[in-house]
Amino acid sequence: MPSTSSTGPALVATFAIVFALGLASCTSKSEPVEDKAAPSTEPVAEKVELPPAPVDFPPMKVPAGNRQSPEKIALGHQLFFDVRMSVDGSRSCYSCHQNEHGNGGETPLAVGAKQKQLTRHSPVIWNTGFFEAFYWGGRAGSLEAQAKGAWGGGNMGVGKENLAAKAAELAQIKGYQQQFKKVFPDEGMTPETIAKAISAYERTLICSDTAYDRYAKGDDNAFTEQQKQGWALFMGKGQCAVCHAPPLFSSAMGVPGGLYYNVGIGTAGRPADEVDIGRAKISEQDADWAAFKVPSLRNVSKSAPYFHDGSVPTLAEAVAVMATGGIDNKNKTPLLADRGMSEEELGAIVAFLGALDCGKLEQPDLPK
Ligand code: HEC
Ligand code: HEC
């Protein structure tokens, strides 16, 4: 397991170098060619130097045993939206990852089937296929494992030991039976093939056409002036990109095992033994105490409330928490500090984050 403390500084160093190089090359490119004969009509005020905006995503890793196909994806799409997956017909996967809530959760803490109170907030699932560890603490190593976890666990309430029986029950639905025969001819409808189909669908939830992406591809009008200011602050003074590096806006994406930091959420005014210890539950290392996976900030303007416990109701407050150094506790990451930003600067960052809005999941027709 990569430990938070050893990967963090290395990343910062890399980032600092990349950023410095980027700025340097940017400056040299924009150096005006001197033409003394023609006086410039440009305003005298210096333009803000904007950081380079990366646009290309790394390739998404797809497990060899679960190749994508249009039929499989269509099947997963239906299952993701089907409340018949849950123990009591009350919930689908989509119930906690809805468009109205930015495809994260509505309530601060999720409520599972049979009204079971869960302990964490539902994360945004756009671009989730780029992660290599899932959940806030990274306890699932694949989307397939995550899907079975959510389905068998409190979210859908079926129970790990009852998944095979539930799969057999769903196989009574003609439309599923026929599709599974086609997509998984040897296996049919089992907990494994159901999890594979859902994961194949999730790997198609790619958010790559935001205002940010249009700006990064050269459309200068895709950002407002305030968003440009926010973008520069996000990359520069705020040092947000140390952990939320563009274009995915989570440096944990594409990193085997993920990346986890303690920013202090959930630690204030609580005895240590009542704190959600996050990554430490998996790694059993003190360095990971109350550390959580870096979420992507794509779609963040729509996904209130915020953080692993949903404890912060608005984006403005969430940005303020991060920009002022997080919440002090015995294990807070040194990578977060008070960046001394004005209200106006914080507002610009919030405006910039609005340039990361994603699309919507489509409701499929469900088989009978
Ligand atoms: C009752 C609400 C609820 C339901 C139903 C639900 N989820 Fe979630 N989902 C959550 C919560 C809460 C988490 C974070 C849990 C944690 O970190 O411990 C989560 C995490 C995830 C993640 C991990 C994302 C990441 O960034 O690591 C994925 C993917 C996901 N859910 C997909 C699904 C799928 C697929 C289903 C259906 C099989 C499903 N969810 C059903 C609430 C729900
Ligand atoms: C040291 C790494 C790090 C830095 C630097 C950092 N963040 Fe974060 N950010 C995180 C982690 C980890 C979380 C999740 C914490 C949790 O839920 O307990 C997070 C969560 C967030 C969230 C909530 C997202 C959600 O879906 O709930 C926002 C908004 C955010 N950060 C914005 C920023 C901004 C703006 C900056 C710069 C001022 C910044 N972050 C700097 C690591 C970082």
Q: Whose CA is nearest to atom 1 of ligand 2?
A: 335
pLDDT tens-digit profile, the chain (368 residues):
344 443 444 444 444 434 433 333 333 333 444 444 444 454 444 566 899 999 999 999 999 999 999 999 999 999 999 999 999 999 999 999 999 999 999 999 999 999 999 999 999 999 999 999 999 999 999 999 999 999 999 999 999 999 999 999 999 999 999 999 999 999 999 999 999 999 999 999 999 999 999 999 999 999 999 999 999 999 999 999 999 999 999 999 999 999 999 999 999 999 999 999 999 999 999 999 999 999 999 999 999 999 999 999 999 999 999 999 999 999 999 999 999 999 999 999 999 999 999 999 999 999 99
Distances, alpha carbon 193 to alpha carbons 128, 149, 186, 205, in Å: 19, 14, 10, 19
43: preceding bond cis by omega (within 30 degrees): no
Handedness of CA 122, 124, 128, 131 (dihedral sign): negative
The letter for the amino acid at 150 is A
- d(CA 114, CA 112) in angstroms, rounded, equals 6
Q: Whose CA is nearest to atom 38 of ligand 2?
A: 323
What are the structural domains of the chain? 70-202 (1.10.760.10)
The letter for the amino acid at 247 is P
- d(CA 51, CA 339) in angstroms, rounded, equals 18
| pTM, full prediction | 0.90
Ligand 2 atom with the smallest distance to the CA of 123 is 26
| Cβ partners under 8 Å of residue 170, min gap 6 | 84, 85, 176, 189, 194
The letter for the amino acid at 94 is Y
54-263-292 Cα angle (round to 5):
75
- For residue 76, give both structure tokens: 């997963």
Ligand 2 atom with the smallest distance to the CA of 261 is 12
| Cα 69 to ligand 2 centroid, rounded to whole Å | 35
134-322-338 Cα angle (round to 5):
140
Other Cβ atoms less than 10 A from the Cβ of 225: the count is 10
Beta carbons of 107 and 303 less than 8 angstroms apart = no
| Cα 116 to ligand 2 centroid, rounded to whole Å | 28
- d(CA 72, CA 198) in angstroms, rounded, equals 8
Confidence (pLDDT) at 156:
97
The letter for the amino acid at 252 is A
Confidence (pLDDT) at 43:
47
Other Cβ atoms less than 10 A from the Cβ of 252: the count is 24
Q: If you compute the radius of gyration of the chain from its CA atoms, what whole number of angstroms results?
A: 22
Beta carbons of 128 and 205 less than 8 angstroms apart = yes
Confidence (pLDDT) at 47:
61
- For residue 155, give both structure tokens: 């979210």
Q: Give the ligand whose atoms come closest to the C-alpha of residue 309.
A: 2
- d(CA 348, CA 330) in angstroms, rounded, equals 31
Query: Ligand 1 pocket, 307 CB below 6 A?
Result: no
The letter for the amino acid at 55 is V
- d(CA 295, CA 318) in angstroms, rounded, equals 13
